[in-house]
Amino acid sequence: MKGTVFLILFCSVLLNIPVMSQKVSSDKGKYLLSLGMGADYSSTPSFTDYLKNELPLSAQDSIKPFSIGVEFFVGIEYRFLKVASIKLDYSYYLRSNRYTFAYYVFDYTLTSHQPYLMFFYKLDNKKIDLKFGGGAGYHFHILSNNISSNSTKSYTSSGIGIRGEIIFAPRFSKVLETYISGYVFGSASSSIKDESGNLLKGSSTGKEVNLGGYGVGARLGLSIYLN
């Protein structure tokens, strides 16, 4: 429910930009729909420390400080000035970490809903769009813990994320261009809770666990001008 309200507020801001930019000429006021997929290399220190303390010793060797995740994204962008635009960006993020001990497999799967409100500055070029931007959003995480398919526990968390992104977009035609980007990000998260609202804590440390972290990533997709 919170995620729906947040997205509605984002859309309201985006759709009201034309009203605030009455001096923009028709060739500048274009909506751009982007979609594609990406991958990131990220670290969640609190969660990694929790795994190192909870998993058996033989499984701890496979725990790395950084992990690879994938995302599927869609965004709608409005260029309200010749060199400036605002973008509502949403991605569905997925990361899975598997650790093995004897006959047991510990599978931790993280899925996240990640909306962002981004602002971009564009270098003026007729053949290539090169944009620099950044923004923030409020994210919603679900962590599933499956042990050898015998039992599954689900946890939730949420928090603020920030992102800086550079987009390189060669144009195929007047309405179609590629979407190639690199980005850096950081996030803060509330403590992880189970379905009953109980906080996840280290059994030996007693510390609460969160999914805050940082990393780098890249995206590949297409963008289409809608008008």
Looking at the chain, how many residues does it have? 227
This prediction's pTM: 0.81
CB 6 within 8 A of CB 115: yes
3-class state of residue 20 by DSSP: helix
User: If pLDDT is split at 50, 70 and 90, which confidence band does 77 have?
Assistant: very high
Q: Please, what is the average pLDDT of the chain?
A: 84
User: If pLDDT is split at 50, 70 and 90, which confidence band does 227 have?
Assistant: confident
Closest CA to 1 of 213, 116, 156: 156
Closest CA to 72 of 34, 110, 118, 120: 34
3-class state of residue 52 by DSSP: helix
Strongest mean pLDDT among 54-63, 98-107, 110-119: 110-119
Report the phi/psi class of residue 209: left, alpha or beta, with left for phi > 0 and alpha for psi in -120 to 50.
Answer: beta
User: Cα(115)–Cα(37) distance, rounded to whole angstroms?
Assistant: 15
43 pLDDT exceeds 80?
Answer: yes
Per-residue pLDDT tens over the stretch 116-162:
999 999 987 778 889 999 999 999 999 998 876 667 889 999 999 99
Lowest-pLDDT range of 8-22, 36-50, 119-133, 169-183: 8-22
Closest CA to 81 of 30, 152, 127, 33: 30
- For strand 176-187 and strand 151-170, is the pairing parallel, antiparallel, or unpaired? antiparallel
**Alpha-helical regions (H) of the chain:** 2-15, 17-20, 45-54, 57-60
Closest CA to 56 of 109, 110, 105: 105
3-class state of residue 58 by DSSP: helix
Helix (H) or strand (E) holding 82: none
- Domain spans, the chain: 2-225
CATH of domain 2-225: 2.40.160.20
